[in-house]
């Protein structure tokens, strides 16, 4: 199993991605990782880490001269065929890798994956789908969070279907419950496209209808996104991005205020030390800078995106998700099921 | 100065609203409050509080037989002329009160205020506008958060104008900065209506243009809503509601996890006690169940809405905002300025 890893999109240089890759190959003996990026820089990091030892065989380097700027849009990115991002995605196209991870510009990555790999036949729009922690200790899939702005009824239904297959395959949930994001739980609430999607999903998921295997739960409000009440939340890319960034903003704000409170004086600093076990887990779980791994679902290949500010632990957990997606052949499962339904 | 206070919309009975009203008239000697609702219930509460003493002269009761259910929409509510909500709003229409507060159903309140008081001439759509705390210790106005679903370019610009006048009048900010909510800060990002509003606001706020007195800052991302970087954030009612409920959801989630962590055993409970001063302020500031007072701006009258789950402290702070809005004659100031511009 081979992963192509664009190590140049990190805000803090390529060291964190490389450390995560090394941890992965240590843990999974069936895995090879191709580090894609500036050959000199990568070699330098590996030399520093391994000193006189030999770099493990499961690690290889694919040199790429250019780096897609973090501000780049899709058009700028697809015009850079020698970028680490394009080269990493191309390795999947050429079947030299089974999946790809990048933490570069979201819009750029979307453009490059789209151009090089194309979409799954029958899926009109891909979606970014993060896997988020819930209050109940489980996971919830939210899609789309920014591959699109607006989405049609049929696109939203295709998101539900893809997430259903992902949830079954990767998260082992037998019959994942699916909700639509809305500003009220009532059927007649919200924007026209949400009301229409509600009606169509309700109809298509009735017994004997074509999507009767989907478990449609109805609407969910943004305040309950992380409640764990449902397994999948479907929305247009604009709303999803607003939810994700609002959650992220509030978490950052509260933790920074708590930190400020605990660093006021020596006594509060001492209290902070004692309270550490209380906060352990909470902060890490909901600090979106440290998680935020998302699959670009609907693309004809297994493409994951990590946050640009990820640390090595966060790259590691995204690589693990990517490995699972490859192992479970998730994209082919989506392809097959979509083809059967069309 | 007289406030009409619908005390029947509270999730926890009419006692909290009554306690808040009593605190207000104790503090502000120029203020009278008319408690609108079930006469027997209100009298009972007052009797319990004052025992053999006389109820203060600044408190009066306006009996209303019906209560608008929390699930009521606008049409159901306007068909209940004898509800405490309708009666309270009607006191403003008849100039027996200078402003009104209710914590009943949002959709119902919007409908009732709309029907009885109408809009300010020149304003097509009213907006719910909460005043939210920021990281820098100031306030930010966010509108609309749910009086509308979609909004046109001109409606969004009228929101900016009304909030500008409110911010100057009530919050004493000389030249409040105004941002549009968007999923990126770049001018060409986001939904079509946001891009058009950006272009039009940019043009209208240039020197010598008609709205050159407005301080247009550009786009702001949802994660920065509470940063304090801007004073006013304008968006359609759907997006604003999604932001508000996402922020609320995340705050509730984090505080419930922290509470869980601190109540694990005797030792953590002891730590929680010691840590109380650290958390003091943080939780109260960002617990939206305890704040959430919002003006229904654009209506031809001064109408405030409190959260149904408010405690007496939260009703008190919303009543204070309402008193200030009456004192500063905010609605007439908006009226005059809008009339001048048309």
The DSSP-derived string for B47-110 is HHHHTTSPPPTTEEEEE--B---TT--HHHHHT-TTBHHHHHHHHHHTTS-SEEEE-S-HHHHH
Give yes or no for A171 touching B (CB within 8 A): no
Average pLDDT over residues A200-213: 94
Q: What is the pLDDT of residues A61-79, one digit of tens each?
A: 999 999 999 888 899 999 9
Map residue B136 onto helix, strand or coil: coil
| Per-residue model confidence (pLDDT) at position A290 | 53
Quick one: residue A292, left, alpha or beta (phi over 0 = left, psi -120 to 50 = alpha)?
Answer: left
Of B132, B130, B125, B129, nearest to B149 by C-alpha is: B125
Q: Is residue A171 included in any domain, yes or no?
A: yes
pLDDT at A287: 61
Residue A129 belongs to some domain of the structure: yes
Starting at the edge strand that comes first in sequence, how are the strands of the sheet with B32-37 ordered? B59-63, B32-37, B2-6, B99-102, B303-305, B294-297, B127-133, B139-143, B232-234, B177-181, B215-220
Structure-derived torsion over alpha carbons of residues A332, A100, A121, A177, reported in degrees to the nearest 10: 60
Best residue of B193, B253, B272 to probe chain A, by most A CBs closer than 10 Å = B253
Q: Using the beta-carbon criterion (under 8 Å), do B191 and A238 form an inter-chain contact?
A: yes
From CA A67, how far away is CA B117, in angstroms rounded? 59
Residues B159, B76, single domain; the answer is: no
Q: What mean pLDDT do residues B276-292 have?
A: 69
CA angle A326, A329, A331 (to 5 degrees): 100
Nearest Cα neighbor of A304 from A68, A87, A130 is A130
Residues contacting residue A79 through CB under 8 Å, at least 6 positions apart: none
- pLDDT of A59: 96
Residues A153 and A195 in one domain: yes
Chain A to chain B Cβ contacts (< 8 Å): 146
A294-297/A303-305 β-pairing: antiparallel
C-alpha dihedral sign at A331, A335, A337, A341: positive
DSSP states along B9-31: --TT-SHHHHHHHHHHHHH-TT-
Which residues have a Cβ under 8 Å from the Cβ of B314 and sit 6 or more positions away?
Answer: B20, B289, B290, B291, B292, B293, B306, B307
For residues B287-301, average pLDDT? 79
Overall average pLDDT of the B333-340 stretch: 92
Q: B225 and A242 in contact by Cβ < 8 A?
A: no
Q: Minimal Cα–Cα distance from B263 to chain A, Å?
A: 9
Q: What is the mean pLDDT of residues B142-154?
A: 95
What pLDDT score does A224 carry?
Answer: 95
The distance of B239 to chain A (nearest Cα, Å) reads: 7
Same domain, B165 and B265: yes
Contact A3, A98 (CB under 8 A): yes
ipTM: 0.89
- Both tokens assigned to B135: 């990281």
> Mean per-residue pLDDT for A240-260?
90
Is the pLDDT at A223 greater than 60, yes or no? yes
Torsion of CA B313, B316, B317, B318, to 10 degrees: 120
The mean pLDDT of B87-98, rounded to a whole number, is 98
H or E element that contains B209: none
pLDDT class of B287 with cuts at 50, 70, 90: low
Confirm if A43 and A61 have CB atoms less than 8 A apart: yes
Q: Does A287 touch chain B (CB under 8 A)?
A: no
**Closest chain A residue to B263, measured at CA:** A278
Tokens representing A179 are 């909700």
At A67 the pLDDT is: 95
Q: Is it the case that residue A124 has pLDDT exceeding 90? A: no
Q: What is the rounded average pLDDT of the residues A251-270? A: 88
Residues of the domain holding B50: 1-119+299-329
Q: Which of A146, A236, A254, A288 to mutate to test the interface with B (most CBs of B within 10 A)?
A: A254
SS3 per-residue string spanning chain A: CEEEEECCCCCCCCHHHHHHHHHHHHHCCCCEEEEEECHHHHHHHHHHHHCCCCCCCCEEEEECCECCCCCCCHHHHHCCCCEHHHHHHHHHHCCCCCEEEECCCHHHHHHHHHHHHCECCCCCCCEEEEEEECCCCCEEEEECCCCCCCCCHHHHHHHHHHHHHHHHHHHCCCCCEEEEECCCCCCCCCCHHHHHHHHHHHHHCCCCCCCCCCEEEEEECHHHCCCCCCCEEECCHHHHHHHHHHHHHHHHHHHHHHHHHHCCCHHHHHHHHHHHHHHCCHHHHHCCCCCCCEEEECECCCEEECCCCCCHHHHHHHHHHHHHHHHCCHHHHHHHHHHHHC
Domain count, chain B: 2
Q: Report how far residue B186's alpha carbon sits from residue B184's, in angstroms, rounded to the nearest whole number.
A: 6
pLDDT exceeds cutoff 80 at B288: no
Q: Give mean pLDDT, residues A98-118.
A: 95
Question: How would you write B290-317 as a 3-class SS string?
Answer: CCCCEEEECECCCEEECCCCCCHHHHHH
pLDDT of A95:
97
In terms of DSSP bridges, do strands A99-102 and A232-234 run parallel, antiparallel, or are they unpaired? Answer: unpaired
My answer on whether B140 and B252 are in the same domain is: yes
Instruction: Give contacts of A226 with chain B, Cβ < 8 Å.
Output: 249-250, 253
Q: C-alpha A171: how far from its chain's center? A: 14
pLDDT tens readout for residues B15-47? 999 999 999 999 999 999 999 999 999 999 999
DSSP state of B216: E
Residue to substitute from B145, B250, B261, interface A, most A β-carbons within 10 A:
B250
Nearest to B241 among A183, A254, A264 (CB): A183
pLDDT at A281 over 90: no
For A51, the token pair is 């000193």
Given a cut of 90, is residue B152 above it in pLDDT?
Answer: yes
Is B250 in the A-facing interface, judged by CB distances under 8 Å?
Answer: yes
Q: Is residue B342 part of a domain?
A: no
Q: Do residues B130 and B114 both lie within one domain?
A: no
Tokens 């050159």 belong to B212
Chain length of chain A: 342
Mean pLDDT check: name the lowest of A161-165, A306-310, B128-132: A306-310
Asked whether residue B34 is assigned to any structural domain, the reply reads: yes
Q: Are residues B163 and B292 in the same domain?
A: yes
- Return mean pLDDT, chain A: 92
Instruction: State whether residue A209 sits within 8 Å of chain B by CB.
Output: no
Same domain, B165 and B196: yes
Mean pLDDT of chain B: 92
Would you give the distance in Å from CA B341 to the centre of its chain?
A: 26
**Which chain B positions have a beta carbon within 8 Å of A254's beta carbon?**
250-251, 254-255, 282, 286
Residues A13 and A97 in one domain: yes
Q: Which pLDDT score is estimated for B275?
A: 87
Query: In which element (H, E) is residue B261 found?
Result: helix B237-262
Q: Same domain for B86 and B152?
A: no
Chain B interface includes A140 (CB < 8 A): no
Contacts of A159 (CB under 8 A, 6+ apart): A127, A129, A143, A144, A151, A234, A297
- Identify the CA nearest to B148 among candidates B288, B247, B296: B296
The answer to whether residue B111 sits within a structural domain is yes
Cis bond before residue A125 (omega within 30° of 0)? no
Q: Sorting pLDDT into bands at 50, 70 and 90, what band is A258?
A: confident
Task: Read off the pLDDT of each residue in A239-262 and give the average, rounded to a whole number.
Answer: 90
CATH code for the domain of A100: 3.40.718.10
Top-confidence residue, B66 or A277: B66
d(CA B175, CA B166): 11
Asked whether residue B281 falls in the same domain as residue B150, the answer is: yes
Q: Is B247 a member of any domain?
A: yes
Domain-embedded: residue A340? no
Please tell me the distance in Å from A134's CA to the nearest CA on chain B: 9
Average pLDDT over residues B287-302: 80
| Residue B13 counted as domain residue | yes
Tokens 């000193």 identify what position?
A51
8 Å CB contact of A257 and B221: no
Indicate if the pLDDT at residue B165 is higher than 70. Answer: yes
From chain A, the residues in CB contact with B74 under 8 A are none
Q: Which one, of A282, A290, A295, A321, lies nearest residue A307 by Cα?
A: A290
Give residue B289's pLDDT band: very low, low, confident or very high (50, 70, 90): low
How much is the pLDDT for A206? 94
Residue B310 is encoded by which pair of tokens?
């408010």
| pLDDT at residue B281 tops 80 | no
What's the pLDDT score for residue A279?
81
Rounded mean pLDDT of A132-161?
Answer: 93
Q: What is the DSSP letter of B119?
A: B
Whose structure tokens read 């408010």?
B310
* A225 close contact with B: CB closer than 8 A: yes
Hey, is the C-beta of A122 within 8 angstroms of any chain B C-beta? no
Are residues B135 and A257, on separate chains, in Cβ contact within 8 Å?
yes
Reported as a pLDDT band with limits 50, 70 and 90, residue B52 is confident
Task: Give the integer Cα–Cα distance in Å for B112 and A110.
Answer: 47
Are B41 and B91 contained in the same domain?
yes
Judge if A32 and A134 occupy the same domain. Answer: no
């Amino acid at each position: 199993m081979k992963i192509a890893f664009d190590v140049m999109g990190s805000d803090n240089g390529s060291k964190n991605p490389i450390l995560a890759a090394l941890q992965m190959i240590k843990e999974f003996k069936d895995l090879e990782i191709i580090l894609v990026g500036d050959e000199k820089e990568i070699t330098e990091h590996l030399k520093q880490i391994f000193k006189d030892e030999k770099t493990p065989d499961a690690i290889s380097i694919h040199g790429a001269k250019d780096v897609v700027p973090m501000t780049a849009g899709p058009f700028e990115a697809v015009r850079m065929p020698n970028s680490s991002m394009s080269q990493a995605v191309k390795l999947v196209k050429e079947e030299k890798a089974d999946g790809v991870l990048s933490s570069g510009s979201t819009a750029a990555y979307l453009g490059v994956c789209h151009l090089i790999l194309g979409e799954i036949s029958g899926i009109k729009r891909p979606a970014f789908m993060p896997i988020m922690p819930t209050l109940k200790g489980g996971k919830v899939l939210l899609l789309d969070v920014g591959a699109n702005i607006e989405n049609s009824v049929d696109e939203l239904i295709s998101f539900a279907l893809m997430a259903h297959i992902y949830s079954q395959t990767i998260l082992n949930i037998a019959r994942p419950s699916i909700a639509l994001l809305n500003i009220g739980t009532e059927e007649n609430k919200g924007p026209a496209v949400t009301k229409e999607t509600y009606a169509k999903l309700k109809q298509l998921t009735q017994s004997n209808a074509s999507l009767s295997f989907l478990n449609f739960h109805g609407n969910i409000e943004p305040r309950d996104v992380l409640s764990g009440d449902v397994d999948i939340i479907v929305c247009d890319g604009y709303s999803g991005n607003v939810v994700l960034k609002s959650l992220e903003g509030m978490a950052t704000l509260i933790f920074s205020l708590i930190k400020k409170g605990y660093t006021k004086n020596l006594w509060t600093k001492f209290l902070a030390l004692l309270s550490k076990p209380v906060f352990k887990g909470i902060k890490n779980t909901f600090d979106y800078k440290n998680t935020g791994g998302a699959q670009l679902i609907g693309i004809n290949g297994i493409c994951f995106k990590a946050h640009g500010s990820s640390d090595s632990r966060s790259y590691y957990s995204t690589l693990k998700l990517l490995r699972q997606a490859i192992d479970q052949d998730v994209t082919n499962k989506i392809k097959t099921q979509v083809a059967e339904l069309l």
